């Protein structure tokens, strides 16, 4: 039996979304309605009334200096979240009484497994100087957020960092790019984990109560380098353990149209339950179309879940049902739920939000997503009853009494214990 350092646990469940673009739609005059057609004057309030209790916002280093893969400067109206933007939106979230998840991209533009470009202003720094810059930038950003009344409750130290982060610039080639494939040189992984250590150090110093999230998206067995058995996912968290990276929560992306059927996600969760028994899991990005396919779709799930309001609702309900079976999962966040072109001149359509751009109405999936949210029962009540030290019983992470605990993580006398 291993006694963990954690002194408390909670069955708090988070249902929310990444609303990084909400101010843009509000400024553009987007028209929002409930599913029944009633006007929505404040989207954040509406989300909370529906049952959402946490929101995520991304932060870029200098979104005015975005680079494409060929190294040319470009602009993307969706890449606009600088620190001032995040301070204002983060404060709104906190003022609503909701939890705030901050998503550091550590880039001037989109960071994902296919592109993790070092901010242009930091490109000339050597590895040691880059690590120190990351530390000072993270620490300063968090201090400013705190001063603005927008202290984050959860912090992602990087976005979809399955293969590392801050590889270099798009114009770099070959070994100059410091990617972290499972087969990459050990030096690349050492560089990456040294960067992470500086990021988490700053988070612990400025926001000691915040939970740190390591976010990857290798949730499919059929993706590149996964070798049909989630090996890239397993390899990543093995490397984190070997490097003694300090974090609290495993963050996953799950897009069925890229990652595959729901059992793919459940397989990843089962693996993490075995390999990382002391960590919680959150699906920090999830979505599915209500109309036609999202561009680049690689998996057709429409025979089971058509691209319709009913299909989007059904897959959301089934994902929620599956996630609730796993006590180590405590969060589900929709990607870009606020997207809504109704009544605006915004260009392009995204077909997997929680509002229909044809009508401006909330889709039925919103109600299903919110069913993952917290309740007043469970281990939170167990831990807060003031008698945890005197209680010799064992409880599951959902607050149920375990008369004969076997393998897994339990609560005993107000502390987590792992039974092997």
pLDDT per residue as tens digits for the range 253-274: 999 999 999 999 999 999 999 9
**Residue 278 CB partners (closer than 8 Å, separation 6+):** 4, 6, 409, 416, 418
Structure tokens at 380: 């939170």
pTM attached to this predicted model: 0.86
- Identify the pLDDT of residue 345: 85
Q: How far apart are CA 293 and CA 307, in angstroms?
A: 7
Does residue 69 have a pLDDT over 90?
Answer: no
Nearest to residue 4, comparing CAs of 415, 419, 420, 391?
415
Q: How far apart are CA 357 and CA 349, in angstroms?
A: 8
- Identify the pLDDT of residue 376: 40
Does residue 1 have a pLDDT over 70?
Answer: no
- Identify the pLDDT of residue 404: 57
pLDDT digits (tens, 9 = 90+) for 289-342: 999 999 999 999 999 999 999 999 999 999 999 999 999 999 999 999 999 999
pLDDT digits (tens, 9 = 90+) for 71-88: 555 668 899 999 999 999
Q: Judge whether 388 and 382 are in contact, CB under 8 Å.
A: yes
Output the CA–CA distances (angstroms, integers) from residue 169 to 118, 119, 137, 295, in the order listed: 6, 8, 19, 26
**Residue 268 CB partners (closer than 8 Å, separation 6+):** 218, 219, 230, 233, 252
- Identify the pLDDT of residue 89: 98
Per DSSP, the three-state class of 374 is: coil
pLDDT digits (tens, 9 = 90+) for 153-173: 999 999 999 999 999 998 888
């Amino acid at each position: 039996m291993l006694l963990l350092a954690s002194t408390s646990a909670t069955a708090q469940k988070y249902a929310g979304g990444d609303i990084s673009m909400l101010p843009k739609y509000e400024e553009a005059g987007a028209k929002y309605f409930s599913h029944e057609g009633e006007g929505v004057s404040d989207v954040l309030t509406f989300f909370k009334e529906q049952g959402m209790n946490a929101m995520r916002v991304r932060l870029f280093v200098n979104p005015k200096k975005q680079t494409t893969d060929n190294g040319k400067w470009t602009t993307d109206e969706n890449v606009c979240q600088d620190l001032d933007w995040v301070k204002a939106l983060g404060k709104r979230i906190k003022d609503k009484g909701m939890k705030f998840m901050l998503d550091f991209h550590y880039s001037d533009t989109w960071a994902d497994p296919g592109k993790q470009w070092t901010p242009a202003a930091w490109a000339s720094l050597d590895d040691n100087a880059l690590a120190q810059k990351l530390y000072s930038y993270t620490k300063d950003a968090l201090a400013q957020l705190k001063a603005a009344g927008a202290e984050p409750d959860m912090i992602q130290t990087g976005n979809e960092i399955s293969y590392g982060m801050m590889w270099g610039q798009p114009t770099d080639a070959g070994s100059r790019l410091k990617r972290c494939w499972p087969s990459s040189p050990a030096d690349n992984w050492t560089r990456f984990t040294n960067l992470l250590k500086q990021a988490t150090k700053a988070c612990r110093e400025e926001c000691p109560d915040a939970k740190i999230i390591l976010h990857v998206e290798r949730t499919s067995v059929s993706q590149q380098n996964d070798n049909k058995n989630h090996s890239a996912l397993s390899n990543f968290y093995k490397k984190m353990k070997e490097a003694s990276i300090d974090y609290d929560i495993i963050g996953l992306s799950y897009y069925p149209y890229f990652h595959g059927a729901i059992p793919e996600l459940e397989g990843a969760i089962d693996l993490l339950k075995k390999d990382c028994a002391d960590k919680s899991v959150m699906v920090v990005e999830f979505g599915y179309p209500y109309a036609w396919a999202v561009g680049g779709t690689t998996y057709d799930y429409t025979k089971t879940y058509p691209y319709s309001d009913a299909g989007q609702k059904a897959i959301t309900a089934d994902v929620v049902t599956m996630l609730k079976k796993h006590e180590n999962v405590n969060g589900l966040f929709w990607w870009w739920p606020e997207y809504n072109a109704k009544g605006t001149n915004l260009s392009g359509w995204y077909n997997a939000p929680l509002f229909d751009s044809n009508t401006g109405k909330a889709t039925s999936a919103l109600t299903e997503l919110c069913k993952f949210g917290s309740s007043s029962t469970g281990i939170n009540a167990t831990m807060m009853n003031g008698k945890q030290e005197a209680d010799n019983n064992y409880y599951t992470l959902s607050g149920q009494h375990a008369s004969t605990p076997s393998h897994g993580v339990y609560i005993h006398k107000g502390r987590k214990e792992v039974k092997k």
